[in-house]
Amino acid sequence: MNRDAIGVFDSGLGGLTAVKALNELLPNENIIFFGDTARVPYGTRSRQTILRYTKEDIAFLRRHPVKMIIAACGTVSSMLGAELPVKDMPFTGVVYPAAEKAAEVTENGRIGVIGTPATIRSGSYETALHSVNPHLDVTAMACPLLVHLVEYGYTNRNNQITRLAAEEYLTPIRKAGVDVLIMGCTHYPIIREIIADIMGDGVKLLSAGEEAAQYAKICLEQQDLLTDSTEAGHNIYYVSDSVSSFRDNAKNFLPDAEYGQVFSSRI
């Protein structure tokens, strides 16, 4: 048993969707979240820059007592691929857990993926999906505007700006006849209702962050690293930019959470 925290990082606030899932799955665990809000988004950066940012984000979390690290960022996970940047404790990104779940639940073998330009350019989801089942038909689409729209709070189901952008990106995937759509950026579940409206009832939506949280639970159980505390865990949040901006926008991701412990910190 281990009472250290689970460390979670993201380029911005999208990783809070993974934190939400962890809070629901493992309510007694402590979580330390770092959002690199000063440098969001990562998805338009070069691979070299993204990997440098990733190294710095991990180093920040390791300054705290953590027992596992989750890269709750589709872009980071895609750049890492199967590489494990942390060797002495459990580590996961979001790509492989989501790919395994999608391959498991698809009925027609057609899977859609949406993500940042860097994620889609990397081909990481296609690689992960085909490693599970080489016969899967994958349709991937970069959605460069959606992270910005979510970060700035354009998340209402009836918001016409976000709806028009999502329609533009999702139409080719819908026409491909997919029955599963991987939301390959942890920001996208915040506009799940918009995405569901456009894709239709016959398409299962998978949250990469939620699948990573499920994987983390299994991993911690297998390695006997779950806390033995019977008290509710607590979250501590760090951001690399404005705390007040975090408080304003975080309610879109964790609407019922208390943001008492939020700190601004340089990496």
Do 113 and 200 belong to one domain?
yes
Model confidence over 162-206: pLDDT tens digits?
999 999 999 999 999 999 999 999 999 999 999 999 999 999 999
Do 80 and 99 belong to one domain?
no
Do 69 and 106 belong to one domain?
no
Confidence grade of residue 267 (pLDDT, cut at 50, 70, 90): low
Q: Give the chain's mean pLDDT.
A: 94
Do 36 and 61 belong to one domain?
yes
The answer, yes or no, to whether residue 265 has pLDDT greater than 80, is: no
Confidence grade of residue 259 (pLDDT, cut at 50, 70, 90): low
Dihedral of CA atoms 233, 239, 242, 243 in degrees, nearest 10, equals 10
Model confidence over 139-167: pLDDT tens digits?
999 999 999 999 888 999 999 999 999 99
User: What is residue 42's predicted lDDT score, i.e. its pLDDT?
Assistant: 93
User: What is residue 258's predicted lDDT score, i.e. its pLDDT?
Assistant: 59
Do 132 and 202 belong to one domain?
yes
User: What is residue 168's predicted lDDT score, i.e. its pLDDT?
Assistant: 97
User: What is residue 246's predicted lDDT score, i.e. its pLDDT?
Assistant: 86
Do 252 and 193 belong to one domain?
no
Model confidence over 111-121: pLDDT tens digits?
999 999 999 99
Model confidence over 50-65: pLDDT tens digits?
999 999 999 999 999 9
**Residue 185 is among the residues annotated as catalytic for this protein:** yes
Out of 114, 185, 206, 212, pick the active-site residue: 185
What residues contact residue 173 under an 8 Å CB cut-off, 6+ apart?
Answer: 112, 114, 139, 141, 181, 199
Number of separate domains in the chain:
2
Out of 21, 31, 32, 73, pick the active-site residue: 73
Do 204 and 220 belong to one domain?
no
Do 174 and 105 belong to one domain?
yes
Do 83 and 178 belong to one domain?
no
The answer, yes or no, to whether residue 255 has pLDDT greater than 80, is: no
User: What is residue 244's predicted lDDT score, i.e. its pLDDT?
Assistant: 87
Confidence grade of residue 72 (pLDDT, cut at 50, 70, 90): very high
Query: Could you tell me which residues are beta bridge partners of residue 32?
Result: 7, 236
Do 141 and 35 belong to one domain?
no
Do 13 and 89 belong to one domain?
yes
What residues contact residue 16 under an 8 Å CB cut-off, 6+ apart?
Answer: 10, 33, 35, 186, 250, 253, 254
Which of 2-11, 17-26, 135-144, 247-256 has the least mean pLDDT?
247-256
Do 234 and 198 belong to one domain?
no
Q: Which domain holds residue 53?
A: 5-93+210-264
Q: What is the CATH number of the domain that holds 45?
A: 3.40.50.1860
Name the domain boundary from 191, 209, 227: 209
The answer, yes or no, to whether residue 222 has pLDDT greater than 80, is: yes
Residue 266 CB burial class (10 angstroms; 0-12, 13-18, ≥19):
exposed
Task: Please tell me the pTM assigned to this model.
Answer: 0.91
User: What is residue 234's predicted lDDT score, i.e. its pLDDT?
Assistant: 92
Candidate ranges 26-30, 41-45, 260-264; pick with highest mean pLDDT: 26-30
Distance (Å, rounded) from C-alpha 196 to C-alpha 104?
20
Query: Could you tell me which residues are beta bridge partners of residue 207?
Result: 183
